[in-house]
Amino acid sequence: MKVLITGSSGFIGAAVTRAVVAKGDEVKVLVRPTSNRNNLDGLPVETVEGDLQDPSSLKKALAGCQGLYHVAAHYALWDQDPSTFYNVNVEGTKHLFQAAEEAGVERIVYTSTIGAIGLPGDGGLGSEEFFPSESQLSGDYKRSKFLAEQEVLKMAKQGLPVVIVNPTAPVGERDVKPTPTGKIIVDFMKGRMFAYIETGMNLIDVDDVAMGHVQAMKRGRIGERYILGNQNLMLREICQMLSQLTGVPAPRVRLPWKWIVPLAHVNTWIANYVTHKTPRIPLEGVRMAKYRMHYDCTKARNELDLPQTSVETALKKAVQWFRQFGYV
């Protein structure tokens, strides 16, 4: 099968690209002219320059393809121009899938986000049957990805052959930016985590996320959502794992969530109006930390045979990669 992969220069996208190449498919990758392509070094792929906001470039990229992995997104907790989230994540996805439909693409895997999965009010595990409440859609990234997923579900009902995957918090190698989760690891390794908020996360090895994509292309049911996750942990437990891997002491001071909110407001205001740089304490990240983001990943395990590499192994790979490439 000949497939197009968007977002291949990024963290999840690079892992997906490697997994698809290993599977033996013929791979084209869509990259922006300004993208850092280090994650693609040495891979036998055809590179096509384009942009999700340029429909003509998408038609060119999809020519001759039977499959599409749409991994690209504007993924951040803050942006000086919030409209970028909606232009890329919502409108860009609509442009791409309209082009895919016109090109006769036979199978599509769309990378959504765990933020589009709702958490039940009783504090239980989130699952594919839940959609987030308005209060759970904190920030423009989550809102834009939720709106994009709603558009994709609508297209699936109209016949678009698309399967949706919702990764939790991936960790591992080639987290070049790094992602917000990767930044937690880097900050910990640098000794910058003096305290913590007692929040919950679900972690998974990024290579397992990639295999979940490959399996979704092969076995996923059209119009269905699949949570690609592994282990539910509290941030305190993640810090203890990182301490064992790095020798850096885990923070002992637990800060109440409500104490951090005013600091995040001030920090975000300074970023918006003074520094124009990503805030050290992004408000949207703090708002997300209010929830225990724990999920039931049974559906993907059963239907996609999702791999479950230990989280300790995934964190070890991330730590080694960040050290090797000078992040610490």
Q: How far is it, in rounded angstroms, from Cα 58 to Cα 42?
A: 24
Q: pLDDT (tens digit, 9 = 90+) per residue, 22-54?
A: 999 999 999 998 888 999 999 999 999 999 999
Is the model's pLDDT at 183 over the cut of 60?
yes
DSSP 272: I
- Residue 143 host element (H or E): helix 139-157
CB 31 within 8 A of CB 226: no
CB 144 within 8 A of CB 138: no
* pLDDT bucket at 261, cuts 50 / 70 / 90: low
Crossing angle for the helix pair 92-103 and 55-62, nearest 10 degrees?
40
Q: Which residue has the higher pLDDT, 305 or 271?
A: 305
DSSP 51: -
3-state helix, strand, coil in the chain (%, to 5): 45, 15, 35
Q: pLDDT (tens digit, 9 = 90+) per residue, 119-169?
A: 987 778 999 999 988 878 878 888 999 999 999 999 999 999 999 999 999
Q: pLDDT (tens digit, 9 = 90+) per residue, 293-328?
A: 899 999 999 999 999 999 999 999 999 999 999 999
Does residue 178 have a cis bond before it (omega within 30 degrees)?
yes
Is the model's pLDDT at 284 over the cut of 70?
no
Strands (E), the chain: 2-6, 26-31, 46-49, 67-70, 107-111, 162-167, 169-171, 195-196, 200-205, 225-228, 231-234, 253-254
